[in-house]
């Protein structure tokens, strides 16, 4: 059973280390039933390219990690377990050091509409922000977005709370004016799933991973990995002292996914 996943965009891109450890552990948990496996990185692809390859069963990539959309669900097979417990939906802002005083005055969504938000081209977040009347500036390159922020091309680089601490630490040397904003969280549901090709082979690959993930949830190893990667970062971000501003994700329509509370991060319990 071969799991080929997308490579990181750069040596500083550590966003998916946790994701692939979850998958690798799920495969280890199921070795007795399913046998050996191979996990290996593909050449880097854009999200759009990953989806194209999976839909066409090219075997250049056999699993991807992306958000839920009704359109995607028609074409691919998702494992409906939010891999990062929707931590990515709690958005923390990377800003320029001198702008913190402006954000100190933000109380609600209308206040946020005064700012422009930097996001990656083709990220679903672009459409979510636009649907909520927030100004968006898109960039085609992950590393380039950090430069664009410091060059005043936009006011906020919106990051998942699972990403922002490590990204800040990895970039502060090259961008000394970079800061993590102190007071705010922008929240919207953004469950990120593992996706597979819509065929027998994809079904087989997905079935194994889902069984392994559920076993991890039952035996506590899922939470153990989550806490290894994120508990210190959550503490550094002072969730309890931040104001949460909620916006709607028009692409998330399956509220029944909330039924199993074990699958979702709860900031009130941290």
Q: Are both 203 and 166 inside the same structural domain? A: no
- Rounded to whole angstroms, how far apart are CA atoms 42 and 31? 23
For residue 11, the model assigns a pLDDT of: 62
For residue 12, the model assigns a pLDDT of: 63
Q: Are both 134 and 9 inside the same structural domain? A: no
Residue of 54, 46, 52, 51 whose CA lies nearest to 3 = 54
Q: Are both 198 and 224 inside the same structural domain? A: yes
Q: Are both 178 and 92 inside the same structural domain? A: yes
**Does residue 38 belong to any structural domain of this protein?**
yes
Q: Are both 138 and 194 inside the same structural domain? A: no
Q: Are both 35 and 149 inside the same structural domain? A: no
**Does residue 267 belong to any structural domain of this protein?**
no
Q: Give the contacts of 168 (CB within 8 A, at least 6 positions apart).
A: 94, 178, 179, 180
Structural tokens at position 25: 């552990």
Predicted model pTM:
0.84
Residue 65, domain extent: 2-86+190-239
- Rounded to whole angstroms, how far apart are CA atoms 34 and 1? 9
For residue 270, the model assigns a pLDDT of: 60
Domain count, the chain: 2
CATH code, domain with 100: 3.40.190.10
Q: Are both 160 and 221 inside the same structural domain? A: no
**Does residue 263 belong to any structural domain of this protein?**
no
For residue 32, the model assigns a pLDDT of: 96
For residue 183, the model assigns a pLDDT of: 95
**Does residue 33 belong to any structural domain of this protein?**
yes
Q: Are both 22 and 69 inside the same structural domain? A: yes
Q: Which residues of the chain have pLDDT under 70?
A: 9-13, 270
- Rounded to whole angstroms, how far apart are CA atoms 175 and 45? 26
For residue 228, the model assigns a pLDDT of: 93
For residue 8, the model assigns a pLDDT of: 72
CA 20-80-55 angle, 5° bins: 75
**Does residue 264 belong to any structural domain of this protein?**
no
**Does residue 144 belong to any structural domain of this protein?**
yes
**Does residue 166 belong to any structural domain of this protein?**
yes
């Amino acid at each position: 059973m071969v799991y080929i996943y997308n490579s990181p965009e750069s040596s500083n891109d550590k966003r998916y280390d946790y994701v692939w450890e979850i998958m690798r552990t799920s495969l280890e948990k199921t070795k007795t039933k399913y046998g050996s496996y191979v996990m290996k990185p593909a050449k880097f692809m854009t999200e759009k390219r990953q989806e194209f390859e999976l839909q066409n069963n090219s075997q250049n990539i056999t699993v991807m990690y992306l958000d839920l959309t009704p359109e995607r669900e028609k074409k691919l097979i998702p494992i409906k377990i939010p891999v990062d417990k929707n931590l990515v939906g709690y958005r923390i802002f990377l800003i320029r050091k001198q702008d913190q005083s402006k954000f100190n005055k933000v109380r609600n969504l209308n206040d946020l509409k005064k700012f422009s938000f930097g996001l990656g081209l083709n990220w679903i977040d672009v459409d979510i922000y636009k649907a909520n009347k927030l100004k968006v500036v898109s960039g085609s390159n992950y590393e380039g977005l950090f430069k664009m922020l410091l060059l005043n091309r936009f006011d906020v680089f919106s990051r998942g709370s699972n990403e922002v601490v490590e990204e800040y630490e990895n970039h502060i040397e090259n961008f000394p004016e970079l800061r993590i904003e102190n007071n705010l969280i922008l929240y919207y549901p953004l469950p990120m799933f593992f996706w597979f090709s819509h065929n027998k082979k994809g079904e087989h690959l997905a079935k194994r991973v889902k069984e392994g993930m559920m076993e991890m949830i039952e035996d506590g190893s899922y939470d153990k990995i989550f806490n290894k990667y994120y508990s210190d970062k959550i503490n550094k971000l002072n969730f309890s002292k931040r104001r949460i501003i909620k916006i709607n994700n028009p692409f998330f329509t399956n509220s029944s996914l909330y039924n199993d509370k074990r699958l979702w991060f709860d900031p009130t319990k941290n």
